[in-house]
Amino acid sequence: MINEYHRIAGIVGTALFLLLSLTGHAQTSDSLIVGDMRNQGIDFYKNNQVKVITSGVEKFELMFDDIRRAKSSIHLEYFNFRNDSIASLLFDILREKRKEGVEVRAVFDGFGNDSNNQPLKKKHLRKLRADSIDIYEFDPIRFPWVNHIWPRDHRKIVVIDGRIAYTGGMNVADYYLVGTEQVGEWRDMHCRIEGPAVNELQRIFVRFWKLVAKEELTNQKYFQGVPSGSKMIGIANREPHTSNEIMRRFYVSMLDNAKDSVKIINPYFVPTNQVIKALKRCAERGVKMDILISSKYDEPLTPDVVMYNMKKLIKRGANVWRYRPGFHHSKIMMVDGKVCTIGSTNLDSRSLRYDYEANAIIADEATTRELDSLFIEDTRKSDLLTLEEWKKSRTTWQRFRGWLGHLLTFVL
């Protein structure tokens, strides 16, 4: 009897052990994505704080307050500083900080500057430098122009005192506050980070600063990101010749590991073939896929190519939403309510193959759920694009432009 008891107890114990082992080793989408990204060379950092920023008003209020409180250093890297009132206010604050002895370094992209309708000119740069602000233009556009097409610096990174960082989709321009006549509201998202992940964003800036300004920044005072919360964050950083494939692999990994749901907002939805295939695989597995695009655009050919791609995805079962109030410039994705990304990367060849880009990858349910809720709010201001609506709304000329444009995906 006793032996029989021990035999049964042993069987039960073994079964419990196996059950617990399987449960403990079951991999969820967030752990799979983090594991894949670590294998690709993306480091993840625990104990961060992150605040999702959903408007230009919120971003500039928070960022300017942090800059005003800076004690040591302010580093800014943008695609462009548009020469308008918000940039003027920023530069006025930076001048005051220089008078207090705070180091100020700024870099912007030459193409990003020249392609906006209110660029910084040489006289503006001379004035800023006369006020002791170190500001540099990356790869200025010079004759014969064509050799300056790629790569461009499309990142948006600000690091303050080495302990607070901002990154996301917003540059420095008034239209993030008031929109534009052409598209109306200019909607975008950004994030504010405190914690060890800030050190990685600072390292990205420092490497680029050395490339552009030929100055090496090694002092530990620039790296003050210390444990400050409970969120795990990785930084995906694309740099030509060193991490060419990182953004493509990152997006493919997120899509291939999705189990329940994927939500995407991205303005220039002209993905490379590998990402398109991952989107199709995702839909074929029965993952609920929601994609939000704009109904208004700031470029002529892009909307036709975007709509060409949307038809393919709608046929696979994706829900596609067209945002009515204006241009949605955000670059975010949420998977299974567990992991999300906010960054500068468009789903086009420029971002995935050529340019400097940076995305924060946040493996945190609360942050992902927050973005999920914001997505749902924006769908209430959007129209669901059905296959029937697509056919009714697309002229023969628009369909041809979309087909022709998709053949040029590698340069869009």
From first to last of the 412 residues of the chain, give the pLDDT tens digit.
Answer: 434 434 444 433 433 333 333 333 446 778 888 898 899 889 999 999 999 999 999 999 999 999 999 999 999 999 999 999 999 999 999 999 999 999 999 999 999 999 999 999 999 999 999 999 999 999 999 887 777 788 999 999 999 999 999 999 999 999 999 999 999 999 999 999 999 999 999 999 999 999 999 999 999 999 999 999 999 999 999 999 889 999 999 999 999 999 999 999 999 999 999 999 999 999 999 999 999 999 988 888 899 999 999 999 999 999 999 999 999 999 999 999 999 999 999 999 999 999 999 999 999 999 999 999 999 999 999 999 999 999 999 999 999 999 999 998 877 7
Supply the pLDDT for residue 404. 94
Supply the pLDDT for residue 116. 93
List of residues 6+ apart from 373 with CB closer than 8 A:
none
How far, CA to CA in Å, does 307 sit from each of 233, 273, 331, 389, 396? 33, 16, 18, 11, 13
Which residues are marked as active site? Answer: 154, 156, 161, 329, 331, 336
Could you give the residue ranges of the DSSP H alpha helices within 106-222?
110-114, 122-130, 175-178, 197-213
Supply the pLDDT for residue 18. 35
Domain 30-411 has CATH 3.40.30.10: no
Neighbours of 312 (CB within 10 A): 14
Residue at token pair 């400097």: 356
The whole-angstrom separation of Cα 218 and Cα 206 is 8
Neighbours of 315 (CB within 10 A): 12
Is residue 319 classed exposed, middle or buried when 0-12, 13-18 and 19+ CB atoms within 10 A define those classes? middle
- The answer to whether the beta carbons of residues 167 and 190 sit under 8 Å apart is yes
The whole-angstrom separation of Cα 360 and Cα 195 is 13
pLDDT tens column, 123-162: 999 999 999 999 999 999 988 777 778 899 999 999 999 9
Supply the pLDDT for residue 341. 98
- The answer to whether the beta carbons of residues 202 and 165 sit under 8 Å apart is yes
pTM of the model: 0.92
Q: Where do the structural domains in the chain lie, given as residue ranges?
A: 30-411
